[in-house]
Structure 1
């Protein structure tokens, strides 16, 4: 059985619990820790769900928010549904189907 794996990014939620409500508040705090990200890059980290991130940025965020990576990233996993094909819901062979054949076409001369 295949499993679908994902994660929930909780940076905005943790920032709010620590009294930080804008992405621009993180920029100088990240710079203090040697992480040089533009305001737009930090905004994307806060407002979206990153697909890739360096461990240094993750460590800096954990240091700023006094949390662990497990607080920031909550993994999710569930069993993938069984894919159905077009033939899954067709009934079995019908009796007498092999006798059904198309009728040959008759070509009539122009009259």
Structure 2
């Protein structure tokens, strides 16, 4: 949306402007940025993008609290709730079973 507000309607145009600013982005990464599904972006790259679009990082990011809560670990069981771990011997190559 920020790119559109700046008159940039095609990802190729933004990619060209980023290259002029010294940031070469692959077509796949540009596609992810343009569609709003980047896998990862370096802070240095974000700085160049903000410079080209004349905006702040906050204008480019959308909060997704449901994704943050999904990453939280489930409640940890206490020692009294957890059953003792099962002991299973590991047998190596050419070794006999332990004595009975």
Which protein shows a greater Rg?
Answer: 1
Provide the aligned length of Structure 1 versus Structure 2: 70
CA RMSD of aligned residues (A): 2.4
Higher helix proportion (structure 1 or 2): 2
- 1:35 counterpart residue number: 23
More strand by share: 1
User: What TM-score do you get using the length of structure 1 for normalisation?
Assistant: 0.53
Q: In the TM superposition, what is the alpha-carbon distance from 1:21 to its structure 2 partner?
A: 0.7
Corresponding residue SS for 2:62: strand
Following superposition, the deviation at residue 31 of structure 1 comes to: 1.2
1:46 aligned onto 2:49: no
Higher RCO, 1 vs 2 (CA within 8 Å, ≥6 residues apart) = 1
| Aligned twin of 2:55 | 67
Asked if the contact 1:23–1:39 (Cα under 8 Å) also holds between the matched residues in 2, the reply is no
Structure 1 stretches (4+) deviating beyond 4 angstroms?
none
Gaps spanning 5+ residues in structure 1: where?
A: 1-12, 81-111
